[in-house]
Amino acid sequence: MPPLLNAIGCIFRRDITVALRRSTDILTPIIFFLIVVSLFPLGLGPEPAALRSIAPGVIWVAALLATMLSLNRLFANDHADGTLEQLLLSPHPLTVLVLTKIAAHWALTGLPLVLISPLLAIQMHLPPQAIGTLVLSLLLGTPVLSLLGAVGAALTLGLRGGGVLVSLLVLPLYTPVLIFGAGAVTGVIADIDIEAQFSLLGAFLALALTFAPWATAAALRVSIE
């Protein structure tokens, strides 16, 4: 068990360090998220009621698209420099190593979006109780986006036009997360019970944690072979 924990720590630190050295990999999704959400008040005007009504969907769609921007690089760099082959030859379970890489991806992409979302929610005139719901829904939903996106990234690894193919593969899988994530925030604004939305988001996260690492590991073996 200690060697496995050591391997997990090394992979996580390596992915974070490499990403920090390539600042554009981290900044591009964040800047995209900020720009997309900030354009709506400029285009629709400063009317609070109008902005409040569209804010949950706008913020969630922007977070989804920002996550998709970084999926193509999840395994591409490791594939190019031979690191991925070393992971496949490792004595440790590939599913655990893949889950570690997905966790690093979420920490670099999903977590910043969660932390920035309250500022954008204020800009969109969301009430305080809806801001907390938005943060919690993103905290449950963005890991699902990374987990499902990793499967698409592994399936399209090394293919020409892989970024477009990843989008086509994962977008249908993202749709339920988008619906229930935005629906939870809309329910708070409309004073409707949102327990069902959070229960479903939690179920999606549990299922993704169970099956996505295994599917990603299998797809990586197929792509490498």
Give the per-residue pLDDT at 220: 87
Q: What Cα–Cα distance (Å) separates residue 3 from each residue in 92, 93, 97?
A: 9, 12, 12
Q: Whose CA is closest to 30, among 116, 106, 104?
A: 116
Distance CA 196, CA 202 (A): 10
pTM, 2 dp: 0.90
Of 147, 76, 73, 70, the C-alpha closest to 109 is 70
pLDDT digits (tens, 9 = 90+) for 6-54: 888 888 998 898 888 887 878 889 999 999 999 998 888 878 888 898 9
181-217: pLDDT as tens digits: 999 999 999 888 889 999 999 999 999 999 999 999 9
pLDDT digits (tens, 9 = 90+) for 30-42: 999 999 999 998 8
